[in-house]
Structure 1
């Protein structure tokens, strides 16, 4: 046992080595609740002289040593976690770690598969890697809101037939797939007389529109004479089939 003194209220306490080891040397005063390092305030016990051995015929001499007054049951060890306890708490069950890792990998794979077209458009170098990972075709992303009809015209040719001219623009910063076109010819009451769909191949020889670029397209076709006399307007819509 060791005797230490509270530096705040000067109360003396007995502390055992087990208490000090458990609390890593820190104690709490039971009187004023002050926390301090016990070893810094140990009291060195006075040296007690050893009396000479008494002879057989001489009376025995006894010397009593009065120990300094010590306040009992007033020392409180400061709780502290050992390194072994910290390591035990830090460790996670192995099945939980493996399951979490697999779940994270599955989520990453799902994201790559769903967003493969967009990722390939942003980074063309990833196209073969993405195609290998998902074992599927990687094409250009389809974004109808990205392709706008900048200008359009519908005219009747003197030699016969009709011509539609379009200028499409990709407003995105990456390439997008070439859309299809739905052309509707209307009469005076804005009723649709003829509706026709032109594929992406008919609009352009390419399968995509470069980032922030325009594509000009010219479409020629014939109409029945009875229908052509009633046509007064048209509507053009781009879409992905």
Structure 2
């Protein structure tokens, strides 16, 4: 057992080696709450000197100042060793929670960059891991709309993924227009209809050909088309 002194209020109290080891040598004064390193203020004596007793002949003002602390006030400082450990545990738990939330929000993006972690991410969130949907990543590099001599129409598209990781295959909205650029008919082609795959590889192209027929009244008025890719 050691005796140390608070450097702020000079309060003396005992501390055990176990307490010092747990708090890495730091203690908190129970009288003024000052935190200090106990070993720097050890004293050789094992007895805590008793406070001076007020003289019966001293004036009342000085007797009150020299009187010992009341029974309600702590006679010795308590060692606060739990606070640093609790703070560290709370901060660690908060950091782990934030990291876990970020992983769950970015699970599709992480799986696209590192396919090997897809099973782990799926087990963490208990959900399906899909390819990231990034509309700005997929561009229509080229497109054409032609009428076939044997009947029907053909639309050819070349889509390109500009990202360095795979992204989900988008859907296509095709609008056919007349001479006044008014939409005559609109149709949506799903990702499955555009390609047999559910994603576009990083920095790769996907070529697709769509064949369809039109009503005679509509086909006579068709002049142009618009193609728009999106994620439903």
The TM-score normalised by the length of structure 2 is: 0.65
**Match of residue 38 from structure 2:** 84
Q: From 114, 122, 125, give the equivalent of 1:131.
A: 122
The TM-score normalised by the length of structure 1 is: 0.63
Q: Measured at CA, do residues 82 and 113 of structure 1 come closer, stay the same or move farther in structure 2, by a change above 3 Å?
A: closer
SS of the counterpart of 1:102? helix
2:173 is aligned with 1:173: no
CA displacement at 1:103 relative to structure 2: 1.9
CA displacement at 1:84 relative to structure 2: 2.4
Deviations 1:46-77 (A, max 9, x none): xxxxxxxxxxxxxxxxxxxxxxxxxxxxxxxx
SS of the counterpart of 1:197? strand
CA displacement at 1:193 relative to structure 2: 0.6
**Match of residue 148 from structure 1:** 139
Q: From 213, 217, 220, give the equivalent of 1:222.
A: 213
SS of the counterpart of 2:164? coil
Q: From 194, 200, 206, give the equivalent of 1:203.
A: 194
CA displacement at 1:94 relative to structure 2: 4.2
SS of the counterpart of 2:176? strand
1:30-179 to structure 2, matched below 5 A, reads: 83-84=37-38, 92-179=83-170
CA displacement at 1:101 relative to structure 2: 2.3
Unaligned runs of 5+ in 1: 1-21, 23-80
* Distance (whole Å) between structure 1 residues aligned to residue 156 and residue 142 of structure 2: 8
* Distance (whole Å) between structure 1 residues aligned to residue 229 and residue 39 of structure 2: 66
| RMSD, aligned CA | 2.7
89-98 vs 148-157, greater mean Cα deviation: 89-98
1:13-28 to structure 2, matched below 5 A, reads: none
* Distance (whole Å) between structure 2 residues aligned to residue 200 and residue 190 of structure 1: 27
**Match of residue 4 from structure 2:** none
Unaligned runs of 5+ in 2: 1-6, 8-34, 41-78
CA displacement at 1:105 relative to structure 2: 1.7
Rg comparison, structure with higher value:
1
* Distance (whole Å) between structure 1 residues aligned to residue 83 and residue 224 of structure 2: 71
Q: Measured at CA, do residues 90 and 238 of structure 1 come closer, stay the same or move farther in structure 2, by a change above 3 Å?
A: farther
Question: Aligned pairs, how many?
Answer: 165
